[in-house]
A and B are shown apart, each in its own frame.
Chain A
Amino acid sequence: GQQVMQIPQYQHVQEGEDFTTYCNSSTTLSNIQWYKQRPGGHPVFLIQLVKSGEVKKQKRLTFQFGEAKKNSSLHITATQTTDVGTYFCAARRGYDMRFGAGTRLTVKP
Chain B
Amino acid sequence: GAVVSQHPSRVICKSGTSVKIECRSLDFQATTMFWYRQFPKQSLMLMATSNEGSKATYEQGVEKDKFLINHASLTLSTLTVTSAHPEDSSFYICSAATRTGTSVYEQYFGPGTRLTVT
Interface size for A (C-beta < 8 A) is 22
- Can you list, as one digit per residue, whether each of A34-74 has a CB less than 8 Å from chain B (1) or not (0)? 01000001111100101000000000000000000000000
CA distance A50 to B107 in the complex (A): 15
> A88 to chain B: which residues have CB within 8 Å?
43-44
Q: Is B46 located at the chain interface by the 8 A CB criterion?
A: yes
Q: Is A75 located at the chain interface by the 8 A CB criterion?
A: no
Q: Is B106 located at the chain interface by the 8 A CB criterion?
A: yes
Beyond A30-B103, A42-B93, A43-B93, whether A100 also contacts B43 by CB under 8 A is: yes
CA distance A92 to B34 in the complex (A): 14
Q: Is B8 located at the chain interface by the 8 A CB criterion?
A: no
Beyond A88-B44, A98-B46, A99-B46, whether A44 also contacts B104 by CB under 8 A is: no
Interface residues of B (CB under 8 A from A): 34, 36, 41-46, 49, 93, 95, 101, 103-112
Pairs A–B under 8 Å by Cβ, sample size 6: A31-B104, A33-B107, A45-B106, A88-B43, A88-B44, A90-B107
